[in-house]
Chains A and B, each alone.
Chain A
């Protein structure tokens, strides 16, 4: 466990977070604090638990049969795992973008964007259209689709679909956005566009992004966490972790000695 040298307030933090699939313990006790309005990259070799980690942050992990979580995840001072917190309500406040773009195929681009809003009871046509436009703009997709909003969500290219998923997540105005290797299925041009939007988004959101791509982490993240075999090895400002890693394992990973 390493020190965290932060002066800004933590938007979301974990205390002793453990996770299991049946008998297999995948996270062995993670303590991490994510500063508000920043981008934190979570890195590590395959199987280190980084995807499971973020899935615990919005309580998606527990949907898998046999999955268990222990410990605390604290959002703005409230432990989201406490018994009087409804996971459904929390998931609205913590959005997620998945590895493979997954727009709803039976819905149009517009309907995809407002899907979350309708869930939460917003029915006013004008308000929905406003919010749809705003989130599509924030995802840098508006100009490309504004004349084709009725087209099905799957009629877009891979990169556009992923930005649609980002817009969809943004529309419900979450406070934290989790991204699980959002660019791994995209080509470089689409990746660049998505990265552009992530950097713009951090002004208003706290973003946690799992990535395999070290250059990507270096490009867009303010902080980096390095995980290995279910444990947090190191956390700090991205520039420091990359140039001056404090832990031998981190250094080995960064220099490509193992992946």
Chain B
């Protein structure tokens, strides 16, 4: 056996490649993080110069008119997300419990599969669908239609996170409860959901955050409005996101400035929700939303 390697160093090329790749890898993380910093800073600066109590409480005005505000959009967003939550939480949690507790049934497998397919589906298609089934039939754009569209985005998220959280509950807990004679339905509510409730709440908050940030589903279903709505079913409704879109793509500097302001409000809400989940529930919003 010849002693061919008595060296104590490796070839220059290998050392160079190693260094180069390390630099590229560091570059990657810089490239990934910089846009976030730029966006947040821009929103803060441009939006910050527009924010005021008046901005948050006044009605919208035509471009270049002073004293304009985004109040109807704020109220509209809250209303529609609220409606969506009302509709999606029972269905989403219900389906999620079914996936977890009756996981061997064919219905659960099929529905679960379709649920995963629906998660992250193009939201524009969902918006168009709700337009067809609700707006065309009622002949009105409305907060109701917008809320339903948002709920179709939320349901798959809630169903999946509910199912995942409940699956983590050890089987032994269920068995112990049933062995004590507690009926299955009570076991599910008290023991299973009781243990998994943090995960459940995380999923719901996650879905709410997602819905708050959505624009496409609202474009056709709720459109926009310059005033507060008096009817949930018969009037187009403003929302933060659609306002940002409309004002941002307009050619008026004053409206573009307001778009930044609305963006700041929206980002603050999103960050608040994200931090809420992270610190109080201990899980990152995007970890939970991973599919």
Are any A and B Cβ atoms less than 8 Å apart in their complex?
yes
Q: Are B8 and A90 in contact (CB under 8 A)?
A: yes
Q: Does B1 contact A (CB under 8 A)?
A: yes
Residue of A nearest to B11 (CB): A121
Which of B5, B6, B7, B15 is packed against the most chain A CB atoms within 10 Å? B5
Q: Are B5 and A78 in contact (CB under 8 A)?
A: no
Q: Does A175 contact B (CB under 8 A)?
A: yes
Q: Does A89 contact B (CB under 8 A)?
A: yes
Residue of B nearest to A84 (CB): B8
A93 and B4 CA atoms in complex are apart in Å by: 10
A113 and B10 CA atoms in complex are apart in Å by: 21
- The interface residues of chain A lying within 8 Å CB-to-CB of B11 are 121
- The interface residues of chain A lying within 8 Å CB-to-CB of B3 are 175
Residue of A nearest to B7 (CB): A89
Residue of B nearest to A79 (CB): B8
Of all A-B residue pairs in the complex, the 6 with the closest CB atoms, nearest first, are A204-B1, A85-B8, A86-B9, A89-B10, A88-B10, A89-B9
Q: Are A93 and B10 in contact (CB under 8 A)?
A: no
Q: Are A173 and B1 in contact (CB under 8 A)?
A: yes
Chain A residues packing against B (C-beta within 8 Å): 76, 78, 80, 84-86, 88-90, 92-93, 121, 172-173, 175, 204-205
**Which one, B1, B2, B8, B13, contacts A89 given CB within 8 A?**
B8
Please list 8 pairs of residues, one from A and one from B, whose beta carbons are closer than 8 Å in the complex, sorted by A's number.
A80-B8, A84-B9, A85-B9, A88-B10, A89-B10, A93-B6, A121-B14, A205-B1
Q: Are A86 and B10 in contact (CB under 8 A)?
A: yes
- The interface residues of chain B lying within 8 Å CB-to-CB of A89 are 5, 7-10
Q: Are B6 and A173 in contact (CB under 8 A)?
A: no
A121 and B9 CA atoms in complex are apart in Å by: 14
- The interface residues of chain A lying within 8 Å CB-to-CB of B13 are 121
- The interface residues of chain B lying within 8 Å CB-to-CB of A172 are 5
Q: Are B4 and A173 in contact (CB under 8 A)?
A: yes
- The interface residues of chain B lying within 8 Å CB-to-CB of A76 are 6
Q: Are A92 and B5 in contact (CB under 8 A)?
A: yes
**Which one, A86, A121, A173, A205, contacts B8 given CB within 8 A?**
A86
Interface residues of B in 160-212 (CB under 8 A from A): none
What 9 additional pairs, Cβ within 8 angstroms, besides A84-B9, A93-B5, A173-B5? A84-B8, A85-B8, A86-B10, A86-B15, A89-B7, A89-B9, A90-B8, A93-B6, A175-B3
- The interface residues of chain A lying within 8 Å CB-to-CB of B6 are 76, 93
- The interface residues of chain A lying within 8 Å CB-to-CB of B5 are 89, 92-93, 172-173, 175
A170 and B1 CA atoms in complex are apart in Å by: 11
Q: Return B289 CB to nearest CB of chain A, in Å.
A: 29
A76 and B6 CA atoms in complex are apart in Å by: 9
- The interface residues of chain B lying within 8 Å CB-to-CB of A93 are 5-6
A87 and B11 CA atoms in complex are apart in Å by: 13
Which of B4, B6, B10, B14 is packed against the most chain A CB atoms within 10 Å? B10
Which of A85, A88, A89, A175 is packed against the most chain B CB atoms within 10 Å? A89
Q: Return A178 CB to nearest CB of chain B, in Å.
A: 16
- The interface residues of chain B lying within 8 Å CB-to-CB of A173 are 1-2, 4-5
A93 and B5 CA atoms in complex are apart in Å by: 7
- The interface residues of chain A lying within 8 Å CB-to-CB of B14 are 88, 121
- The interface residues of chain B lying within 8 Å CB-to-CB of A88 are 10, 14
A173 and B2 CA atoms in complex are apart in Å by: 8
- The interface residues of chain B lying within 8 Å CB-to-CB of A84 are 8-9
A15 and B9 CA atoms in complex are apart in Å by: 22
A74 and B144 CA atoms in complex are apart in Å by: 78
Q: Return A84 CB to nearest CB of chain B, in Å.
A: 7
- The interface residues of chain A lying within 8 Å CB-to-CB of B9 are 84-86, 89
Q: Return A85 CB to nearest CB of chain B, in Å.
A: 4
Interface residues of B in 103-123 (CB under 8 A from A): none
A78 and B3 CA atoms in complex are apart in Å by: 15
A204 and B1 CA atoms in complex are apart in Å by: 6
A111 and B119 CA atoms in complex are apart in Å by: 41
- The interface residues of chain B lying within 8 Å CB-to-CB of A90 are 8
Question: Chain B 1-43, CB within 8 Å of chain A: the 1/0 string?
Answer: 1111111111101110000000000000000000000000000
A228 and B12 CA atoms in complex are apart in Å by: 42
Which of A76, A93, A172 is packed against the most chain B CB atoms within 10 Å? A93
- The interface residues of chain A lying within 8 Å CB-to-CB of B1 are 173, 204-205
- The interface residues of chain B lying within 8 Å CB-to-CB of A92 are 5
A32 and B4 CA atoms in complex are apart in Å by: 26
A69 and B38 CA atoms in complex are apart in Å by: 44
A93 and B10 CA atoms in complex are apart in Å by: 12
A203 and B4 CA atoms in complex are apart in Å by: 17
Interface residues of B in 242-258 (CB under 8 A from A): none
A205 and B1 CA atoms in complex are apart in Å by: 9
